Chain A
Amino acid sequence: MMLKKLFAFNGGVKPDYHKGESNHLPIAAAPLPAELVIPLHQSIGGVPHPLVHAGDCVRKGQLIGGPDGNVSSAVHASTSGTVKAVEPRLMPHTSGLSAPCVVIEPDGRDEWIEHAPVPWRSMSPGEVRDALRDAGVVGLGGAVFPSHLKVNPGKLGHLDTLVINGAECEPFITCDDMQMRERPEGIVKGAAILRDLTQAKQVLVGIEDNKPEAVAAMRAAVERLKAERIEIVAVPTRYPAGGAKQLIRVLTGIEVPHGKRSTDYGVQCFNTGTAYAVWEALELGRPLISRIVTVAGNVETARNYEVHFGTPMQDVIALAKAKPDSDRVIMGGPMMGYRMPSAAVPVVKATNCILVGSKALFPPPPPEMPCIRCGECALACPVDLQPFEMYWFSRAKIFGKAQEYHLFDCIECGCCAYVCPSRIPLVDYYRFAKSEIWARENEKTAADTARERYEFRLAREEREKAEKAAKLAAKATETKAKLAAQAAAAAAAPADAEAAGAAVPPEPTSTATNDPKALIAAAMARAQAQKAVVHPENVEQISPEKQAEIAEIEARRAKLREVAKAAQPQEDQ
Chain B
Amino acid sequence: MIEAVLVMALGAVVLGAALGYAAVRFKVEGDPLVEKIDAILPQTQCGQCGYPGCKPYAQAIAKGEAEINCCPPGGEEGIRKLADLLGREFKPLSAEHGVEKPKRVAFIDEQTCIGCTLCIQACPVDAIVGAAKQMHTIVAVQCTGCELCLPPCPVDCISMVPISETVETWKWTYPIFEVKRAA
Using a CB–CB cutoff of 8 Å, the interface residues on chain A facing chain B are 41, 91, 93-95, 97, 99, 365, 367-368, 425, 428-429, 431-432, 434-436, 438-439, 442-443, 446-451, 453-458
Distance in angstroms between the alpha carbons of A207 and B8 in the assembled complex: 77
Contact with A along B111-125 (1 / 0, CB 8 A): 000000000000011
Using a CB–CB cutoff of 8 Å, the interface residues on chain B facing chain A are 38, 41-45, 53-55, 124-127, 141-142, 144, 165-175, 177, 179-180
Main secondary structure of the interface of B (DSSP, over half): loop
**10 A-B pairs with least C-beta separation:** A95-B170, A447-B43, A450-B43, A428-B175, A435-B171, A431-B172, A453-B125, A432-B172, A451-B43, A435-B172
Smallest Cβ-Cβ distance to B141: which chain A residue: A446
Distance in angstroms between the alpha carbons of A443 and B42 in the assembled complex: 8
Distance in angstroms between the alpha carbons of A99 and B165 in the assembled complex: 10
**Residue among B55, B142, B167 making CB contact with A99, cutoff 8 Å:** B167
A454 & B45 in contact (Cβ 8 Å cutoff)? yes
**Residue among B124, B144, B165, B172 making CB contact with A457, cutoff 8 Å:** B124
A450 & B172 in contact (Cβ 8 Å cutoff)? no
Distance in angstroms between the alpha carbons of A431 and B172 in the assembled complex: 6
Q: Other CB < 8 Å A-B pairs besides A99-B166, A425-B175, A439-B169, 7 of them?
A: A41-B168, A95-B165, A365-B177, A428-B175, A432-B174, A435-B171, A456-B126
Distance in angstroms between the alpha carbons of A543 and B74 in the assembled complex: 73
Query: Which residues on B sit within 8 Å (CB–CB) of A431?
Result: 172
A449 & B38 in contact (Cβ 8 Å cutoff)? no
Provided the pairs A99-B166, A367-B177 are in contact, do residues A450 and B171 lie with their beta carbons within 8 angstroms?
no
**Shortest CB distance B162–A (Å):** 15
Of B42, B125, B165, the most chain A CB neighbours within 10 A belong to: B125
Distance in angstroms between the alpha carbons of A412 and B31 in the assembled complex: 42
Query: Which residues on B sit within 8 Å (CB–CB) of A438?
Result: 171
**Residue among A97, A428, A446, A458 making CB contact with B170, cutoff 8 Å:** A97
A451 & B54 in contact (Cβ 8 Å cutoff)? yes
Query: Which residues on A sit within 8 Å (CB–CB) of B125?
Result: 450, 453-454, 457
Provided the pairs A428-B175, A432-B174 are in contact, do residues A97 and B167 lie with their beta carbons within 8 angstroms?
yes
Smallest Cβ-Cβ distance to A451: which chain B residue: B43
Query: Which residues on A sit within 8 Å (CB–CB) of B42?
Result: 443, 447
**Residue among B142, B165, B170, B175 making CB contact with A429, cutoff 8 Å:** B175
Distance in angstroms between the alpha carbons of A368 and B178 in the assembled complex: 10
Query: Which residues on B sit within 8 Å (CB–CB) of A41?
Result: 167-168
B170 & A450 in contact (Cβ 8 Å cutoff)? no
B166 & A97 in contact (Cβ 8 Å cutoff)? yes
B167 & A91 in contact (Cβ 8 Å cutoff)? yes
**Shortest CB distance A445–B (Å):** 10
Distance in angstroms between the alpha carbons of A455 and B169 in the assembled complex: 28
Smallest Cβ-Cβ distance to A447: which chain B residue: B43
Query: Which residues on B sit within 8 Å (CB–CB) of A449?
Result: 142
Smallest Cβ-Cβ distance to B169: which chain A residue: A439
Smallest Cβ-Cβ distance to B146: which chain A residue: A450
Distance in angstroms between the alpha carbons of A144 and B65 in the assembled complex: 53
**Shortest CB distance B50–A (Å):** 17
Smallest Cβ-Cβ distance to B178: which chain A residue: A367
Smallest Cβ-Cβ distance to A456: which chain B residue: B126
B167 & A450 in contact (Cβ 8 Å cutoff)? no
Smallest Cβ-Cβ distance to B103: which chain A residue: A443
Query: Which residues on A sit within 8 Å (CB–CB) of B41?
Result: 447
Of B44, B173, B175, the most chain A CB neighbours within 10 A belong to: B175
Query: Which residues on B sit within 8 Å (CB–CB) of A436?
Result: 171-172
Query: Which residues on A sit within 8 Å (CB–CB) of B127?
Result: 453
Query: Which residues on B sit within 8 Å (CB–CB) of A455?
Result: 55
Distance in angstroms between the alpha carbons of A202 and B85 in the assembled complex: 55
Distance in angstroms between the alpha carbons of A431 and B167 in the assembled complex: 15
Q: List 9 A-B contacts (CB under 8 A).
A: A99-B167, A429-B175, A432-B172, A435-B172, A446-B43, A448-B43, A453-B142, A454-B43, A454-B55
Distance in angstroms between the alpha carbons of A8 and B45 in the assembled complex: 55
Provided the pairs A432-B172, A457-B125, A457-B126 are in contact, do residues A450 and B142 lie with their beta carbons within 8 angstroms?
yes
